[in-house]
Structure 1
């Protein structure tokens, strides 16, 4: 046996250099597994047998090595004695090798051997797995590999996850060598309240939770409290016993602010120069109780900055977030990622155990075109050059989003090999996934990729309506997709339709913004406006296609297609109201947010009502009062004033503490016409709602109407916010009758 292995090594080393390569026909081979095959080796053998049958129409016998006869041509799968001379592989790496007759597929740890089999099926047999669902197999019946083959692959990253619908397909994960956090983590992500749930402990032990504004709040944990440490250890001891196969356990802050400011936590964070100080000291203590386990924690917003003194323990992994970066340029250069780059360097100086939580979708509008595709490779190459060992690339999750199949496919390939040829991968994907429509679909993606405007993961189609998602740009993209539809047939037509959903969504959302103007959903009728009769059918068709494509929600935690239909039905049912203030000039003391400008001051008098989406048709003022003066153009009789304010605590938008209406004949001297105090927001309530305030002004003569909305003094403690975060005011249409 030893001489046989030496001979194998010699053949593979010397003959692989020959320029003339013959091929090995595999249709009469047997699949040989180790005598004591592992679960993954058995699975790999079964997968190989299945795909050989699908491609070549033959069923190769699967036998154990102790029953193998040396005269049999074989494909040795796993750690067989025949492949022992090929050596060991790092991590989940694999090796595909061949001499003049036999083939050897050997894996490292985990599913390495399974990855090797799927690579043989794709790279050498020509099959493809472009998305979820059945793989595509060639009809050539060809089944061969080159003689003297030596294909060794070892990943740079120990954790690789792309988060799109395709990644919920188990075979897609194995085919593309991906992970799923549910399979690796016993507890994942923001986990403080999974470990120490407020419903269980807050009433009896408020001291377990953060001290915010002098009051204990269920926003984060108090990490200096010994009871929190004891509960955490007890929880993990039981959880680990219940799930001994989990590789990682997350002990990480909740999403949001409200971190503890008690004396002990503050003292530690001051010593460390970062709120991550108390976090790392805490998780290090926890990790010391379970030295054989691996723990992860989030370097995210308030804890993104590395501590100055304490290093993470050897079994603690830091998962750094890139959430604050815009996406139109690579992370390595874009100014908005400067802090991320600094934090990446700082954490890298403390530990070799770094993961990155990255983002490749617009969470507020999953369907909106988000052309960051050209930055996927430079971002991964930059990250992997800085000691990063794992990447969670968060897309739209299990709901269909902008170019989801392409995003998932390209990310999967790059997570395994950041140096892969993107042009080759892209050409292959568009040809295979869209058939004859592939050329036009690639043209569409390239046209989107020319965008240089800001890409915000919390942006919206309205904010981009003056650049890459302008009506003119959408028409240009639509023309390209028309070519794609004309070229497609069968299943490929549906795929083009799905890709087109993003443009249609933008048109619909922007039509709410344009309203009575060109591109709006309203059209003139008499002295007012009515719904364009084509719009209800257009919405209905869009919703049906969403369901066909697998759209479950249109934003993170947002509306389902049915709920979106209901939103539009409500809009369609409301009669357009013509008030004395329609299109009246408005002057503001405090300017609207540049991030969510809507139509700036005219938002209050454009005749359009906002919905629960704060990014459309709401005058968004950050951290200051609304003080809006409306010029009616001439002195008129005013009987009633009505104004809407949005209450959306998840986005730090709160109903003003007090609303006041004043009137004036000359714009200088104002008389208070009414004041309404709003209820306290001291109690936790995350309900999003639109609050309408009406003021009766019987027969007041006025040319100017001023509306004041007093911004809340601070974000309530229960919401949890970074120290610098201020509440916002969102005002909508001011009706004057």
Structure 2
């Protein structure tokens, strides 16, 4: 018996078999296998062969040669005749977008897929599914070491439900290699042929007159103001006048011209700008009244463009938005077959799936759209743009939402996360980017298992604390089903209980303390602790309570030291901005200090304050400035308290100045303002507050005559009560009689009790 066993082992070694009878891919530093790459392989298939060769060597220590034709058993890469025969594929063009095929047969392995990137995805599927490779982040890949590898026994055919997929995080979008490894191929992904390319949307978004504009707000508005929207009886360069026949002709001409300049285009964006100022002229109003909605007018105009596109470019789709005032479906006008509607979920309650009572209106909207259009893209919002770093427990909404989008027939998904900054501190963005990528590829995967796998593998010995953090954040949000936080939530106060916040802060800090000197897990946990640290520091009612007595668990927290350390961890993670507007870590410290009332004042004592207490800050210190260089300008002004001030032209009414994190309490609010006007008439500027949790606005419109000239006036806005959910905003009033408004300081004078 022993002799026969030895003979069996010897034969297995000679034949390259394991004791289980499976072929051995590698053993003892050797392999009989080659990687066969056809001579006509496209660049991404060449990358696929190199990636497979590299990772097999990292796993087993054996480098398989890449050859054009086999001399023995082989792994066939890409669309070769041998692979087509083995897989039974009569025509490669019959594969679905990004479809992958993996099959072992006759001692060989065949990896192929739809061009250009399907074969590359097939290789990554093999490496992950069969050999345990994990692409955690662009800089962190887990590669298990195994001296002996068996040839996988596999027969897999899979096509993702969405043709275009993009997890919109800065951790992914700028790295074409990581984008390919996570199967991201859509909006914002670097278009690298070597890594499979991406499905680009020509123009991106808001193309009427903003991004890659089809119309110029300067030149075209000057020559044809009638092509632009009418508001309050005046033409303004904000949106297009969609009922104007000459504008439609010119829009069509420019779209066709753009397509001729970009002949490889599959999707072109013809979409409304990012504001609410749709045209209210008599013709547009009459169309809306007779047809039902702004969406009817939009789709009618887009259909005219799409009809011309179809004649000259029959394979091209014209994309437009269902966004803000066009979010609801049209009543009568159905989209043409070559129109793609990109539905935007910006108003959604973030912690609830779309198929829930909290988001019933959006669910119904999308279902209605599915009856009025054949093709859909989705722009879904999955972060907190006000504070990328803030805890945002929407982890278990992604999978059901993606399954809902699939049910509605969506072909393209953009999950917009911390796309332009935030890095790893954007509430565990490493996990978010990886998880969303997995679910975009296959929405039927188990979210809980995926999260557990990532956290265990990525955070190592600190994983239990991270799992606890994720769990208690979600549980806290579930205990407040009435919470309707959107993707612009200014605070955790509406859902995160103080006891849970403090407990999670302690657990995460203790876990970080155990691994902080570890070169791998230390930096990862430093970034992971930022959300809970920042959330605590921004809950001033806990660290600076009105009664002056903190919770016992917080007696040892020094606010200044905690803020400095939090910023240090942000910077060590390579983060330069912590929200969509561009707030830097250093500016975040200033904002935090402002909330505690310890930020130094700017300029002279305001007259209105008398001899009493006050806060007076330059607007750049008091608020975030959006659209810098476009619709808001920071310029030298000798009349301003710090020699510089914010200028906004009176061509828009956007809240480009928004300030959060002011001291809590009741104040008299003043703003130091002036405007440029030769003949002041009407209103020049609006200043007010907005409560994001209650959706309540208070404002005052300031007449131009009150602030015209070169000197600033301290204008009383009113009595306001401030907390973490309330921002102070400033916007121009569209008024031809006013060229610019200038903003110097915000002044807060504490209101005495009894006044």
TM-score normalised by length of structure 1: 0.75
Asked whether the equivalents of residues 90 and 108 of structure 1 are also in contact (C-alpha less than 8 Å), the reply is yes
Q: Deviations over 1:507-543 (max 9, x none)?
A: 232238975636899xxxxxxxxxx994443333222
Q: Deviations over 1:635-659 (max 9, x none)?
A: xxxxxx8845998879987862369
Asked whether the equivalents of residues 23 and 107 of structure 2 are also in contact (C-alpha less than 8 Å), the reply is no
Asked whether the equivalents of residues 382 and 487 of structure 2 are also in contact (C-alpha less than 8 Å), the reply is no
How far apart, CA to CA, are the structure 1 residues paired with 2:363 and 2:435?
A: 24
Distance of aligned partners of 1:455 and 1:62 in 2 relative to their CA distance in 1, 3 Å threshold: farther
The answer to whether the aligner puts 1:156 opposite 2:183 as a matched pair is no
Number of the residue aligned with 1:501: 530
Secondary structure of the corresponding residue to residue 240 of structure 1: helix
Number of the residue aligned with 1:465: 493
Distance of aligned partners of 1:160 and 1:533 in 2 relative to their CA distance in 1, 3 Å threshold: closer
TM-score normalised by length of structure 2: 0.73
The answer to whether the aligner puts 1:59 opposite 2:63 as a matched pair is yes
Secondary structure of the corresponding residue to residue 98 of structure 2: coil
Q: Deviations over 1:436-477 (max 9, x none)?
A: 212221121111111223252345454x32531x43222111
How far apart, CA to CA, are the structure 2 residues paired with 1:650 and 1:280?
A: 35
Q: Deviations over 1:400-458 (max 9, x none)?
A: 21111111111111111111122321221011111121222112111111122325234
Number of the residue aligned with 2:580: 556
Distance of aligned partners of 1:424 and 1:650 in 2 relative to their CA distance in 1, 3 Å threshold: farther
How far apart, CA to CA, are the structure 1 residues paired with 2:169 and 2:256?
A: 33
Superposed displacement of residue 482, structure 1:
3.2
Q: Deviations over 1:524-580 (max 9, x none)?
A: xxxxxxxx9944433332222112223232222131113334445776453799989
Asked whether the equivalents of residues 329 and 369 of structure 2 are also in contact (C-alpha less than 8 Å), the reply is yes
How far apart, CA to CA, are the structure 2 residues paired with 1:94 and 1:371?
A: 33
Superposed displacement of residue 502, structure 1:
0.7
Distance of aligned partners of 1:718 and 1:325 in 2 relative to their CA distance in 1, 3 Å threshold: farther
The answer to whether the aligner puts 1:377 opposite 2:421 as a matched pair is no
Structure 2: gaps of 5 or more residues: 1-19, 189-197, 551-555, 615-655, 674-684, 691-696, 722-727, 737-745
Counterparts of 1:590-605 in structure 2, within 5 Å, are none
Counterparts of 1:621-700 in structure 2, within 5 Å, are 643=670, 656-657=700-701, 678-679=706-707, 692-693=714-715
How far apart, CA to CA, are the structure 2 residues paired with 1:378 and 1:157?
A: 15
Secondary structure of the corresponding residue to residue 242 of structure 2: coil
Distance of aligned partners of 1:475 and 1:406 in 2 relative to their CA distance in 1, 3 Å threshold: same
Counterparts of 1:249-328 in structure 2, within 5 Å, are 249-291=268-310, 292=314, 293-328=316-351
Q: Please point out which of 439, 442, 452 is paired with 2:467.
A: 442
Superposed displacement of residue 300, structure 1:
0.7
Counterparts of 1:356-505 in structure 2, within 5 Å, are 356-399=378-421, 400=423, 401-450=426-475, 451-452=477-478, 453=480, 454=483, 456-460=485-489, 462=491, 464-465=492-493, 467-468=495-496, 470-488=497-515, 489-505=518-534
Asked whether the equivalents of residues 208 and 239 of structure 2 are also in contact (C-alpha less than 8 Å), the reply is yes
Asked whether the equivalents of residues 331 and 379 of structure 1 are also in contact (C-alpha less than 8 Å), the reply is yes
Q: Over aligned residue pairs, what C-alpha RMSD do you find?
A: 3.8
Q: Please point out which of 247, 251, 258 is paired with 2:266.
A: 247
Superposed displacement of residue 308, structure 1:
2.0
Superposed displacement of residue 31, structure 1:
1.1
Secondary structure of the corresponding residue to residue 656 of structure 1: strand
Number of the residue aligned with 2:70: 68
Number of the residue aligned with 1:129: 135
Asked whether the equivalents of residues 540 and 565 of structure 1 are also in contact (C-alpha less than 8 Å), the reply is yes
Number of residue-to-residue matches in the alignment: 609
Number of the residue aligned with 1:185: 201
How far apart, CA to CA, are the structure 1 residues paired with 2:472 and 2:732?
A: 42
Number of the residue aligned with 1:223: 242
Number of the residue aligned with 2:34: 30
How far apart, CA to CA, are the structure 2 residues paired with 1:405 and 1:707?
A: 40
How far apart, CA to CA, are the structure 2 residues paired with 1:190 and 1:718?
A: 24
Superposed displacement of residue 733, structure 1:
3.4
Q: Deviations over 1:217-238 (max 9, x none)?
A: 1111111223433443343334
Question: After alignment, is 212-221 or 561-570 more displaced?
Answer: 561-570
Asked whether the equivalents of residues 101 and 113 of structure 2 are also in contact (C-alpha less than 8 Å), the reply is yes
The answer to whether the aligner puts 1:112 opposite 2:118 as a matched pair is yes
Q: Deviations over 1:291-327 (max 9, x none)?
A: 2311111101101111122221111111111111112
Distance of aligned partners of 1:298 and 1:658 in 2 relative to their CA distance in 1, 3 Å threshold: closer
How far apart, CA to CA, are the structure 2 residues paired with 1:650 and 1:103?
A: 66
Asked whether the equivalents of residues 24 and 148 of structure 2 are also in contact (C-alpha less than 8 Å), the reply is no
Distance of aligned partners of 1:500 and 1:389 in 2 relative to their CA distance in 1, 3 Å threshold: same
Secondary structure of the corresponding residue to residue 280 of structure 1: helix
How far apart, CA to CA, are the structure 1 residues paired with 2:445 and 2:133?
A: 18
How far apart, CA to CA, are the structure 1 residues paired with 2:55 and 2:270?
A: 42
Counterparts of 1:344-359 in structure 2, within 5 Å, are 344-359=366-381
Number of the residue aligned with 1:574: 600
Distance of aligned partners of 1:227 and 1:575 in 2 relative to their CA distance in 1, 3 Å threshold: closer
Distance of aligned partners of 1:92 and 1:310 in 2 relative to their CA distance in 1, 3 Å threshold: same
Q: Deviations over 1:60-86 (max 9, x none)?
A: 22122xx334xx111111111111132
